[in-house]
Amino acid sequence: MRGNVFIAGLGLIGGSLAKAIKKAHPQAHIIGFDVRESELGLAEALNIIDEQAVSFEEGAKKADLIILAVPVLKTEQMIEIIAGLHLKEGVLVTDTGSTKSRIMKRASLLSEKGIAFIGGHPMAGSHKSGVAASKELLFENAFYLLTPGSAAEEKHVAILKKWLDGTRAKILEVTAEEHDEMTGVISHFPHIIAASLVHQARKYNQENPLIERLAAGGFRDITRIASSNPEMWKDISLHNKEMLLTLLTNWRDEMNEVLSILETEDEDKLYRYFNEAKTFRDGLPAASKGAIPAFYEMYVDVPDYPGVISELTGYLADERISITNIRIVETRDDVFGVLVISFQSEEDRHRAKHCIEQKTTYDLFLA
């Protein structure tokens, strides 16, 4: 496809979309804009974009496709600006925000002018941020949710899907309400719970500093999403406030039920509570990408001798297997610990598992 694609916001998502679109449509002209001049310059230096926009307004005026890859509150502001511009005939506007109801309401400003707005949410990410971390296949096999506005016809959705061919994502159409309910349950709400667990540990740690050391293992893993950008999650929480209030109320009721089970020492109910959770959790898709970015991790119980880590990473280097992170989990002074290695993809993790099993006798398992 030919045309000008204007991407406002050149972070991980915006940069990755630029790469995916350019790969699938080499004749597309990618125009970029970011308030961070360093990211904008880096995007051009890395050939992720073809041109820097002088301003947001000028970039939007040139575009056949406008992608707003910015925080949700900023998306609303940009929609207001776009509504006051003289744009190219037939321009499509989309976003990448992880909430939709408020954005779609604001997008009615565009629909009133006959401008097709299609809400979008690519459900993928990474522990890294910024345009330098962008990847052409970041969205491969991830769900990409679309919420068409009232002025968006089937042909507009088809055109946007064609532009997004290079993402190799699983594109689904849902309503804004369905989107916010689903992402609230499996993404937004878990972030609040993770943050609350960390707050609880922080308070207990003030009286017993050993808590912090013990939390380096499994606790750290189950609360890793609490390390996400606080500014972004403040905005998301406010945008999806109604759904989160419902979920938190339901959670409070459920925790009251758990309190009752423990107080009465009802073993049967307690067993069913854990067993039902285990059954549902074990049935979740293991290979699919969901709302919370996956970390492809492998735990290796290595022996305690000098050079064992470099030996292990050397085996992986020989097989040209890239790792994104490596750390030691330890909970006692006299224990060397377990090596946790993170990979970019499920394929890399399985290749690494096979490699280590072939070359060592170390115990390992996949997280």
Asked whether residue 348 is domain-assigned, the answer is yes
Give the CATH number for residue 10.
Answer: 3.40.50.720
What number of other Cβ atoms are within 10 A of residue 274's Cβ? 9
Give the CATH number for residue 185.
Answer: 1.10.3660.10
Q: How far is CA 67 from the centre of its chain?
A: 17
Q: State the greatest distance between any 2 C-alpha atoms of the chain, in Å, as a whole number.
A: 69
Backbone angles phi, psi at 124, to 5 degrees: -150, 160
CA angle 253, 101, 73 (to 5 degrees): 100
**Could you tell me the residue range of the domain that residue 243 belongs to?**
179-282
* Percentages of the chain per state (helix, strand, coil), in multiples of 5: 50, 15, 30
| H or E segment to which residue 303 belongs | none
Of 11-15, 125-129, 318-322, give the lowest mean pLDDT range.
125-129
pLDDT in tens, 253-274: 999 999 999 999 999 999 999 9
The pLDDT of residue 5: 98
Q: Does residue 343 sit in the same domain as residue 243?
A: no
Q: Does residue 150 sit in the same domain as residue 253?
A: no
Q: How far apart are CA 270 and CA 267, in angstroms?
A: 5
Q: What is the chain's mean pLDDT, rounded?
A: 89
Q: Does residue 189 sit in the same domain as residue 137?
A: no
Q: Does residue 144 sit in the same domain as residue 213?
A: no
Give the domain-ending residue among 174, 207, 225: 174
Q: Which residue has the tokens 């808590």?
A: 211
pLDDT in tens, 271-316: 999 999 999 988 877 655 665 666 678 888 877 778 888 888 899 9
Asked whether residue 262 is domain-assigned, the answer is yes
Asked whether residue 289 is domain-assigned, the answer is no
Number of domains in the chain: 3
Q: Does residue 217 sit in the same domain as residue 237?
A: yes
Asked whether residue 287 is domain-assigned, the answer is no
Tokens representing 197 are 């667990």
What number of other Cβ atoms are within 10 A of residue 13's Cβ? 26
Q: Does residue 231 sit in the same domain as residue 328?
A: no
Q: Does residue 189 sit in the same domain as residue 332?
A: no
Q: What is the mean pLDDT of residues 94-122?
A: 95
The residue with greater pLDDT, 273 or 126, is: 273
Q: Does residue 99 sit in the same domain as residue 29?
A: yes
pTM of the model: 0.77
Give the CATH number for residue 319.
Answer: 3.30.70.260
